[in-house]
Structure 1
């Protein structure tokens, strides 16, 4: 699978965030999520997915389990099965999320 970023339509999640599925295959999925300042990825957990996230641009207040930290471009975090996690964009920001297995709900929402 080869994808040109410009050819991907963004899925509007809400008034402060949108996402693009950048690639998937086998059990992996990579998703770019763009947040406006103040945008929130509510604290949640996955019983069927592992997630690793990389801050591409900007900064976030990130909660993983009981820990909360400020992460900036170049930083990352891992959220395993059933680990509560969430983010708040402290400025206009971009995060790259990688899931295994892939998120069927994201595919359905993008149609």
Structure 2
């Protein structure tokens, strides 16, 4: 079974707004993401997302809820299909768990060292 250290994985552009590192198994994905200050467009997707803030500050808007400020130690749960977005208020770093994994990040596994 593979094991990785975040520091050993290449940090790459995951999309035009964020950089990070990704590991995955068949039914879930974990991404360590760095996001610079700026907006996050409202969006929705067909996978569940759990976000654990490590550093920085963000204002999250989740459809049907009041906006909230999240800081290190906060954990957000976003079920598939629920619109969400907001703004990175201070450069942020966070862990995102996606289940099932995001297809648009799956190319990253080709960059993982073979164990």
TM-score scaled by structure 2? 0.82
Q: Which residue of 1 aligns with 2:51?
A: 53
Distance 1:110 1:90 in 2: 30
Q: Secondary structure at the match of 1:19?
A: strand
State the Cα deviation string for residues 22-80 of structure 1 (Å, max 9, x = none).
Answer: x2213111001101222x33211112x11111111011001111221111111111111
Q: Secondary structure at the match of 1:98?
A: strand
Distance 1:108 1:26 in 2: 14
Q: Which residue of 1 aligns with 2:10?
A: 9
Distance 2:6 2:62 in 1: 29
Distance 1:45 1:3 in 2: 30
- Larger radius of gyration, structure 1 or 2? 2
The answer to whether the 8 Å contact 1:11/1:110 transfers is no
Structure 1 unaligned spans of 5+: none
Q: Which residue of 1 aligns with 2:62?
A: 64
Q: Secondary structure at the match of 1:70?
A: strand
Q: Secondary structure at the match of 1:108?
A: helix
The answer to whether the 8 Å contact 2:24/2:109 transfers is no
Q: Write out the 4+ residue segments of structure 1 that deviate beyond 3 Å after TM superposition.
A: none
Q: Which residue of 2 aligns with 1:95?
A: 94
TM-score scaled by structure 1? 0.84
Number of residue pairs matched by the alignment: 107
